[in-house]
Amino acid sequence: MRTLIDIVCPACGAKELDRYIDPSQIAACACGAARQRLFATQGGSAPSVSGDECDVTIRHGLCNADGSPRRYTSKSEIAREAARRGLRNDVTHVTNPNAGSDRNPHTQRWV
């Protein structure tokens, strides 16, 4: 079964990222050594997890009590502050039956 994988040569360190091949059909390296599958997260095809860290300065809504911008360094911190204030992250889609060229009811107007 062909899949998207990364390959590395342990002898010379040569890498091939995002090759669409059958993992059982990995050919030898040009240096003559046997190559093997590389399970990498950066620049490779392996899935990764989105972390909780961020660096966001919010100027409206979740700002400081005096109205000055507030800096958040984690997504969970933003969620906790929003819950504490009784706010929720919400996007409501409102369709416009008299829209111009866009007749798709799902992409006409976001508020």
Indicate whether 7 and 31 sit together in one domain. yes
Task: Determine the pLDDT at residue 109.
Answer: 57
Query: CB neighbours of 97 closer than 8 A, spacing ≥ 6?
Result: none
Inside any domain, residue 89: no
Number of domains in the chain: 2
Is residue 14 a contact partner of residue 37, using CB atoms and an 8 Å limit? no
Domain assignment of residue 110, yes or no: no
In this structure, is residue 104 part of a structural domain? no
pLDDT the model gives residue 42: 53
Q: Which residue has the higher pLDDT, 34 or 95?
A: 34
The lowest-confidence range among 10-14, 39-43, 56-60 is: 39-43
* Average pLDDT for 21-33: 86
Range of the domain at 78: 53-84
CA atoms within 13 A on the CB side of 73: 0
> pTM of the predicted model, to two decimals?
0.43
Is 72 contained in some domain?
yes
More confident residue, 74 or 19: 74
91 lies in a domain?
no
